Amino acid sequence: MASYDVIVIGAGPGGYVSAIRAAQLGLKTACVEGRETLGGTCLNVGCIPSKALLHATHQLHEAEHNFAAMGLKGKSPSVDWNQMQAYKGDVIGQNTKGIEFLFKKNKVDWIKGWATIPEAGKVKVGDEVHEAKNIIIASGSEVATLPGVTIDEEIVVSSTGALSLPKIPKKMVVIGAGVIGLELGSVYKRLGAEVTVVEYMDAITPGQDAEVARAFQKLLQKQGLNFVLGAAVQGVETTKSKAKVTYKLKKDDSEHTLDADVVLVATGRKPFTDGLGLAALGVEMTDRGQIKTNAHWQTNVPGIYAIGDVITGPMLAHKAEDEGMAAAEVIAGKHGHVNYGVIPGVIYTHPEVGSVGATEEQLKAEGRAYKVGKFSFMGNGRAKANFAADGFVKLLADKETDRILGCHIIGPMAGDLIHEICVAMEFGASAEDIALTCHAHPTYSEAVREAALACGDGAIHA
Ligand code: NAI
């Protein structure tokens, strides 16, 4: 039996970052992980592998659609799916090995296996019971499917199965026009599949600024994705190699079907707390199966903390990382803090979508007086040169004080561009602060500045 100051349960982005920070703060730390490799869903079957496939297939798209116009003539590349999978596997391996190295460097013990908490202060893994003054639960989330839909990871797949399909399907139906559905739907569309996305709401990416969501849908349609909106999926029937998806249109209750070789279920995720023994411990949960925590990530059981996808808030790796670091700091007697008002969200399609802060709809609902500064990438020289002029930057600022309230970008590198606004919001900056900051030319970032100028006396290149 070993004794620790902190045992973190789960080595996803929330857990491993938390463990490293705890160790850096001088706490004797271990991290329990049952997978063969560290990194959790994000590194093994989520964020990182999907980015590899998005990158590879975007290169293919560029070769097929833009190379000739740039004077790059010749045959477009053909797809070697096995090699693309090997490339993806290599990227995963480099990243998961990287965490093993960081654990060693920071003296974090990796306890291999699945953890149970028999009582506060103890973590059981296999037959071993370890003592822990503090326990941080970072056990993440799992796929939430629909009634009438059974995931077999062959014909009806979750994101995990969709990342490793044995071959590229001819017809794919995606259930859910959220982040996973659109990222992986884009991948298979670019690889030549006919992709239809069925979404319950009347718009894609619910919760997104509506103007951005509409523009996003148009651009994805231009790329060949089909959408059925306002449609509730009733069930999926499978034969040996095919599936039939039944949905009801909400507007008239009419029932329809779609045939597919592969169905991707992307209707959200739910907290994963199986086997931890939380009920016996009396850990309070929300009615959505999340662990209840206070502002310091403490549960109602002293010495037990929880962070990331198992608690409330958006299920995002970077939100989990921030909570992980902050919880470790709280345990070390410091002042861990997360600003939940400035957590960016990014969709890694092409173009990307990056957002932070309030949407226009939220400001309207709150009755706030605001102004909008918008700038199209059509007016951005760099974007034009790079065949990336689709999209715009939309900056929302307080009408009286000019303080930035939110920003929504659809366009090239939106996921990186959004961070200028995150920093600005952390500093309580005004749109004018951005407008008065010199931005290098020619960069995509100039579009952000132009949107800020549009909140004042006007953009220059509009
Ligand atoms: P999501 O919550 O983003 O989207 C699910 C979609 O499914 C919603 O639009 C919902 O209206 C729709 N839906 C639900 N029931 C339906 C039904 N019966 N018929 C048709 N549509 C239905 O969930 P998603 O895409 O599965 O992602 C899971 C989690 O992983 C999310 O929290 C997401 O933020 C996170 N994630 C984040 C990524 C990123 O930051 N780039 C990438 C991948 C996942």
| Low-confidence spans in the chain with pLDDT less than 70 | none
Among all residues, which ones are annotated catalytic? 441
Token pair, residue 458, equals: 């006007």
Quote the ligand 1 centre to 29 CA distance (angstroms): 34
> Using CA positions, which residue lies closest to atom 27 of ligand 1?
268
Q: Which atom of ligand 1 is nearest to the CA of 46?
A: 43
Q: Note if the bond before 118 is cis, omega within 30 degrees.
A: no
Segments of the chain assigned to CATH 3.50.50.60: 3-142+270-338, 156-267
pLDDT at 198: 98
* Cβ(277) – ligand 1 distance below 6 Å: no
Class of domain 343-454 (CATH, top level): alpha beta
Q: Which atom of ligand 1 is nearest to the CA of 314?
A: 32
181 marked ligand binding residue: yes
Q: Residue 112: which of 9, 5, 28 has the closest Cα?
A: 9
Q: Which atom of ligand 1 is nearest to the CA of 247?
A: 19
Token pair, residue 103, equals: 């654990």
pTM value surpassing 0.85: yes
pLDDT at 457: 96
156-267 in CATH: which number? 3.50.50.60
| Ligand 1 binding pocket mutation candidate from 180, 186, 270 (most atoms within 8 A of CB) | 180
* Cβ(149) – ligand 1 distance below 6 Å: no
Token pair, residue 55, equals: 């990158």
268 marked ligand binding residue: yes
| Contacts with 366 (C-beta within 8 Å, 6 or more apart), sequence order | 358
Q: What are phi and psi of 231, to 5 degrees?
A: -125, 125
* Cβ(181) – ligand 1 distance below 6 Å: yes
The angle at the Cα of 434, spanning 433 to 438, to the nearest 5 degrees, equals 105
Quote the ligand 1 centre to 143 CA distance (angstroms): 10
Quote the ligand 1 centre to 155 CA distance (angstroms): 19
* Cβ(348) – ligand 1 distance below 6 Å: yes
HEC string for the chain: CCEEEEEEECCCHHHHHHHHHHHHCCCCEEEEECCCCCCHHHHHHCHHHHHHHHHHHHHHHHHHHCCHHHCCCCCCCCCCHHHHHHHHHHHHHHHHHHHHHHHHHHCCEEEECCEEEEECCEEEECCEEEEEEEEEECCCEEECCCCCCCCCCCCEECHHHHCCCCCCCCEEEEECCCHHHHHHHHHHHHCCCEEEEECCCCCCCCCCCHHHHHHHHHHHHHCCCEEECCEEEEEEEECCCCEEEEEEECCCCCEEEEEECEEEECCCEEECCCCCCHHHHCCCECCCCCECCCCCCECCCCCEEECHHHCCCCCCHHHHHHHHHHHHHHHCCCCCCCCHHHCCEEECCCCEEEEEECCHHHHHHHCCCEEEEEEEHHHCHHHHHCCCCCCEEEEEEECCCCEEEEEEEEECCHHHHHHHHHHHHHCCCEHHHHHCCCCCCCCCHHHHHHHHHHCCCCCCCC
> Using CA positions, which residue lies closest to atom 24 of ligand 1?
268
pLDDT at 2: 87
Quote the ligand 1 centre to 208 CA distance (angstroms): 12
What residue type is 431 in one-letter code?
Answer: A
Segments of the chain assigned to CATH 3.30.390.30: 343-454
* Cβ(204) – ligand 1 distance below 6 Å: no
Q: Which atom of ligand 1 is nearest to the CA of 182?
A: 25
| Contacts with 226 (C-beta within 8 Å, 6 or more apart), sequence order | 194, 195, 196, 197
* Cβ(182) – ligand 1 distance below 6 Å: no
Contact 158, 151 (CB under 8 A): yes
199 marked ligand binding residue: yes
* Cβ(258) – ligand 1 distance below 6 Å: no
Token pair, residue 217, equals: 């849908």
Class of domain 3-142+270-338 (CATH, top level): alpha beta
